[in-house]
Amino acid sequence: MGIPSAPLVTKAFKDLAILNAGKRGMPHERICFTPHPVWGKTPEEVRAYVEGPDPVSGKPLMKEIIDALTAPLSAEDKKSGVVSVSVGPPTYTDTADNLQDFYLNNGYTDFLPIIIPTEERVEAMMKATNHKPDEAVGKMAAGAFPAWSYNVRQVAANAVMAGCRPEYFPIVLAIASSGTASLYSSTNSFAFAMVINGPIRDRLEFNYGIGALGPFAQPNATIGRAWTILSKNLGNGGIPGDTYLGSLGNNLNYNNVVIAEHEDASPWPPFHVQRGFKKEENVVSLFRGLGVVPGQVARGSSANENVQFDYQMSDLFSTFTGFFGALIIADPLVAARLKEQGYDTKQKLIEWLHKNTVQTVKDYKSRNYAYLFDYPRALRGDEPWASWYKMPDDAVIPHFPHESDINIVVAGGQTNAYPQAGNLSYGVSVSIDKWM
Amino acid sequence: MSPALLAANSALADQTKSKTARTAKAAANSGAGKITAVNPKGTPPPIQLIPMAPRLDTLSGKTVYLVDTGFHGSDVLLHQIEAWFSRNMPDVTTVFRRKAGPYAEDDPALWKEIKAKGNAVIMAVGH
């Protein structure tokens, strides 16, 4: 803008603010700090912050702010030009044990033992694709950061580390090509999920039966893990205090929610067909949100001859934030029951859920995410939020803005009729076949 | 180049050098066989340095925009700063605005307004 500015940040985000200013090209940006947190404090408490010291510099906060706007610039402050950034040599040579320690100590892993990405293993991994080792695969950022880029070889190293077999590699490439990091900088400790569709589920022996979401098959386990490891190494994600701020973190980040759809047991078309792909195509679809909850906690989930899964799901949704969508993971028994109840298409169920999962405007406005994400969109005139914020408090609005916010997949071993539901938004579907 | 600028990357490079040296030494001492492993890191973009905007001689008589990025409590904080100016530097004009759009997105209309009518910005993030 060419206007002097003083960014004011709470102390908890000191490293994030300083490092990100540097990555954005302003290493000497005059960032001022207040005590943390500001949220939930009374005006009197916040006044004490304003009249007190900057907790980083120890100087009076308002003097810091005024100095930031008025103190003359140094030669360093006025510098322009381009600075390159190194992340080390292309290879490391050492003993296997020392390399294991080295990769762990430098944050290259998920802190579980890895398969060392030797040149031979990386070469073997790359034989599973026709794409050249130096071919660009994509760019990734784990938040509002400058994106890193990567090629086939760099992705292969990460796939090896996660324990992937070479035949899994096209799926890992497809995920990497999406540019979606499974570790995101937000304080909200996001969770991520992937849905695998197509014949590749059987060819690679994905588990979509009993324990479909559990640690019971190598592709489910290692491809999910690869997403997290590559998000760290290729997208520079998962550095606490710098590119990761999740206050509690999320256990699902170890290998994400990997769902191979049980296509043959589903009464409905598979997810990738809904997204415009052919049934025989192999596709990975990615989701982002807050996590997954079991249907057993919903009202209407007691032993009941006439259990109403639609009401159960609607009840689960009422605790979700509408900022993210919903991903229903229905055991085939649940899906079959829903079909018996008249939902012969996924769309019919989605329409019912969208129409019947509602809230008052007052309840909506009380939600954290409404204030944080929707209200600023309303200020910009984005719909439906702009209209929602003009409605009276007792008006009734849908829980999710759009029907398309609700998605359904089928997986599970049919040992009991339990659904799970993720407060997860659909992001993108990527062809796996293109990376073979 | 500020040490802060590339703290993560330079620290990583330093760590890399020192740990490689240590582990290489340990391996040599043990006589264990060595293997070569691929660096799994992606390629960071180069950093384009941006000169900072010229500073003001004084805030007296100037208009300072107080921009709320939308995090909880930012508005309370900025209103207290507004009150501080009113008590301590009454010749400073303050204008409070909540930025439109989610916190990580630009608000071009507001930036245009500030450029036309403002002399300085204080942008606050709560939490």
Chain B CB contacts of A27 below 8 Å:
1-2, 4-5, 49
Q: What average pLDDT does range A409-413 have in this prediction?
A: 98
Cβ within 8 Å, pair B43-A149: yes
Per the structure, the complete domain to which residue B106 belongs is given by: 63-124
**Residue B105 has what pLDDT?**
87
- CA-based nearest distance A81→chain B, Å: 5
CB A161 within 8 A of CB A222: no
Whether B26 and B69 share a structural domain: no
CB A151 within 8 A of CB A133: yes
Query: How do residues A80-115 score in pLDDT, each as one tens digit?
Result: 999 999 999 999 999 999 999 999 999 999 999 999
Q: What average pLDDT does range A387-416 have in this prediction?
A: 97
How many residue pairs from chains A and B have C-beta atoms closer than 8 A? 325
A156: closest CA among A171, A141, A144, A173?
A173
DSSP-assigned states of every residue in A154-209: HHHHHHHHTT--GGGHHHHHHHHHHT--SS--STT--EEEEEEESTHHHHTT---S
| Whether the predicted pLDDT of B98 surpasses 50 | yes
Chain A CB contacts of B36 below 8 Å:
91-93, 118-119
Tokens representing A209 are 């039966």
Chain B CB contacts of A40 below 8 Å:
72-73
Residue B110 lies in a domain: yes
Query: How do residues A35-84 score in pLDDT, each as one tens digit?
Result: 999 999 999 999 999 999 999 999 999 999 999 999 999 999 999 999 99
**Residue A301 has what pLDDT?**
62
The count of other CB atoms within 10 Å of the CB of residue B28 is: 12
CB A8 within 8 A of CB B122: yes
Residue B53 lies in a domain: no
Chain B CB contacts of A3 below 8 Å:
53, 114-115, 118-121
Cβ within 8 Å, pair A88-B100: no
For residue A141, name the pLDDT band (cuts at 50, 70, 90): very high
Whether B14 and B67 share a structural domain: no
Cβ within 8 Å, pair A25-B9: no
Query: How do residues A95-104 score in pLDDT, each as one tens digit?
Result: 999 999 999 9
b/e sequence A84-108, b meaning 16+ C-beta within 10 Å: ebebbeeebbbbeebbbbbbeebbb
For residue A302, name the pLDDT band (cuts at 50, 70, 90): low
For residue B11, name the pLDDT band (cuts at 50, 70, 90): very low
Q: What average pLDDT does range A371-376 have in this prediction?
A: 89
Classify burial at A184, counting beta carbons within 10 Å of its beta carbon; exposed 0-12, middle 13-18, buried 19 or more.
buried
| Whether the predicted pLDDT of A320 surpasses 60 | yes
Query: How do residues B53-68 score in pLDDT, each as one tens digit?
Result: 999 999 999 999 999 9
Q: Which residue has the higher pLDDT, B126 or A44?
A: A44
Q: What is the 3-state secondary structure (H, E, C) of A95-152?
A: CHHHHHHHHHHCCCCCCCCCCCCEHHHHHHHHCCCCCCCCCEEEEECCCCCCCEEEEH
Cβ within 8 Å, pair A40-B73: yes
Choose the weakest-confidence range: A398-402, A408-412, B7-11. B7-11
**Residue A411 has what pLDDT?**
98
Cβ within 8 Å, pair B41-A87: yes
A21: closest CA among B65, B50, B69, B125?
B50
Report the alpha-carbon distance of residue A28 to residue A45 in Å, rounded: 30
Cβ within 8 Å, pair A27-B20: no
Chain A CB contacts of B127 below 8 Å:
10, 12-13, 36-39, 187
Q: Work out the mean pLDDT of chain A and round it to a whole number.
A: 95
DSSP alpha helix (H) spans, A276-392: 309-317, 332-340, 346-356, 361-365, 368-369, 375-379, 385-388
Residue B45 lies in a domain: no
Nearest to B100 among A6, A34, A376 (CB): A376
Number of folded domains that form chain B: 2
**Residue A304 has what pLDDT?**
59
- At residue B81, what are phi and psi to the nearest 5 degrees? -70, -40
